[in-house]
Amino acid sequence: MEEPKVKIGLEVHVQLTKLKTKLFCSCPSDYRGKPPNTYVCPVCLGLPGSLPKVNIKAIEYAIMVALALNCKINKRILFFRKHYFYPDMTKNFQITQYDRAGGAPIAINGYLKLNVDGKEKIIRIRRINIEEDPGKLVYPTGSIITSPYTLVDYNRAGIALLEIVTEPDIETPAEARLFLQKLRSILEHLGVCDCSLEGAVRTDANISIAGGGRVEIKNIGSVKDVEKALAYEVLRQKEAFLKGVSVRSETRHWDDVRKVTVPLRVKEEEQDYRYFPEADIPPIIITDDYIEKIAKCMPELPDERIKRFQREYGLPQYDASVLVSNKKLADFFEEAVKLYGGNPKKVANVIINDFLRWLYEKNMRISDVKTEPGDIAELLKLMDKGIISIKIAKEILPEMIVTGKKPKEIVREKGLLRISDEQVLKPIILRVFSKHKKAVHDALKDEKAINYLIGQVMKCTRGRADPVITRNIIVQLLEKIRKGENII
């Protein structure tokens, strides 16, 4: 039986975290961690008589995103009211965009190119809307089900959001992950959003299989969770399909603890949002000149940067893509290259093969890490000068990452300097010889067995012995033994 066709569409809500103020008022936008209801004003609190006024930079950022996603930008935009009652809504309507009564979202009909297993795949962007974030609900018992009342903090109310909606062109959970990674990289490179901030990027996913019911999974936080939720959902729907059971169109919620999607307990009624134009905000006219001005000043986008890394640093495409997938990582890399001054490929290798691996193992993100690009440069320089071996370098890297200490510090503290002094090495080698007589015997016949002896020396010296010098000394000593000379 043919694999049923999977159609996935994503609706991504992105906070324009780099704006200094909210979308419709001048409240500061850095509300995270602030005491509740201290970053509010009559406008975002929706006090009677208050009026919204649009942040000009929000329009600029929206246009930048639209250009980066190859969209058509609408020249005359209106805002609309979307009505629904909920305690996190200060006005019980959200000011957003719509396409009726002459309204139009800021951008439509764009696309994003993905590299899926070496092949190019295009994911179409249906539209981009500018809209405001609601406030935050806090459940005193920790659960929406058992809380006898709800606490509300409106610090987040009015923060500028872009809603980016794709066509259902995505076909696998892995593609969804790739899409989100690329989108995040683009947003970071544009400098409009710090995607690592909590709640800065939220995703709703729509998935249907073989023309069956469309399931919406709401409000998924991390990229990892999106992939997991979709994988679960694809499986669930495929099983139903194979059994001949039809899949219901419904809204589900990703339970991160049990790792399953569950139907929303609250009955999702046919929502009549009663959209109509926001009369308090006059139309915004966007001229071709204005768009061109913005286009000229656009920062380097990920695709361009990948090509430049290949050109300037001689990196293979794969390595360049890994580095650029996260702007902070790419910036880190370039800074390290500058400070190192040597072969950029070496820097790339350390970062991709070792640095990233340790970040993943210790479940840290690059923004959490105290290690600076200069530290990586220093590490490489120490290796180049022969002060430490590659083995030692790989050992101290995780400690650098966790403690933020400089490589020289760690080397000094742990006494990890490379031993290249023959006077120091010879007695150690002799001790090894006396402990491993059989190996010495083997090494006399078979050159390859020398490696075992070198290994033992490394073990004794905790990797500090200079391998080349060690090898030379061992070879010399073996020669002496062959000749029957005294080796002590």
Summarize as ranges the residues that interact with another protein (CB under 8 A).
19-21, 26-29, 35-42, 45-59, 78, 81, 83, 85-87, 90-93, 100-102, 137-139, 144-145, 147-154, 265-266, 272, 274, 276-277, 279-285
Residue 282 beta carbon to another protein: minimum distance, rounded to whole angstroms? 4
Q: Which is closer to another protein, CB of 1 or CB of 279? A: 279
Q: How far is the CB of 279 from another protein (least distance, A)?
A: 4
Cβ nearer to another protein, comparing 20 with 370:
20
CB of 151 to another protein, least distance (A): 4
Residue 100 or 311: the one with the smaller Cβ distance to another protein is 100
3-state secondary structure of 344: helix
The closest alpha carbon to 114, from 123, 124, 106, belongs to 123
Tokens representing 379 are 């590490």
Alpha helices in 191-343 (DSSP H): 223-243, 288-296, 302-313, 317-324, 327-340
Q: Which is nearer to another protein, 1 or 266 (CB)?
A: 266
Nearer to another protein, 31 or 333 (CB): 31
Provide Rg for the chain, Cα atoms. Answer: 30
Neighbour-count burial of 68, counting CB atoms closer than 10 A to its CB (0-12 exposed, 13-18 middle, 19+ buried): buried
462 backbone φψ class: left, alpha, beta (φ>0; ψ -120 to 50): left
Nearest residue (CB) to another protein, 129 versus 470:
129
Contact by Cβ (8 Å): 102, 78: yes
Give the number of other CB atoms < 10 A from CB of residue 76.
Answer: 11
**Could you tell me the smallest distance in angstroms from the CB atom of residue 73 to another protein?**
15
Of 336, 360, 363, the residue nearest 350 (C-alpha):
336
For residue 219, the minimal CB distance to another protein (Å) is: 15
Backbone angles phi, psi at 70, to 5 degrees: 60, 35
Three-state SS at 476:
helix
Residue 84: CB minimum distance to another protein, A: 9
What are the φ/ψ torsions at residue 219 (nearest 5 degrees)?
55, 65
Token duo for residue 178 = 């790739």
Q: How far is CA 449 from the centre of its chain?
A: 46
d(CA 406, CA 382): 12
Q: How far is the CB of 277 from another protein (least distance, A)?
A: 4
CB of 198 to another protein, least distance (A): 19
We find the least distance from the C-beta atom of residue 382 to another protein, in angstroms, to be 45
339: exposed, middle or buried (Cβ count in 10 Å: 0-12, 13-18, 19+) = middle
Q: Least distance from C-beta 281 to another protein, angstroms?
A: 5
Q: Which is nearer to another protein, 257 or 266 (CB)?
A: 266
Nearer to another protein, 162 or 369 (CB): 162
**SS3 of residue 57 by DSSP:** helix
Choice between 154 and 333, CB closer to another protein? 154
In the complex, the smallest distance separating the C-beta of residue 420 from another protein, rounded to whole angstroms, is 58
Query: What does DSSP say about strands 160-166 and 276-277: parallel, antiparallel, or unpaired?
Result: unpaired
Where does residue 319 rank: exposed (0-12), middle (13-18), buried (19+ CB within 10 A)? buried
**Residue nearer to another protein on the CB measure, 16 or 320:** 16
Q: Which is nearer to another protein, 154 or 433 (CB)?
A: 154
In the complex with another protein, which residue's Cβ is closer, 219 or 317? Answer: 219
Tell me how far apart the alpha carbons of residues 445 and 452 are, in angstroms, rounded to a whole number.
13
Rounded CA separation 434/411 (Å): 30
Q: Which one, 168 or 199, has the nearer CB to another protein?
A: 199
Residues β-bridged to residue 136: 153
Taking the complex as a whole, the smallest distance from the CB of residue 80 to another protein amounts, in Å, to 10
**Cβ-proximal residues to 156 (8 Å cutoff; 6+ apart), any chain:** 31, 133, 134, 135, 136, 199
Q: How far is the CB of 183 from another protein (least distance, A)?
A: 23
Tokens of 102: 């002459």
CA 90 distance to own-chain centroid: 32
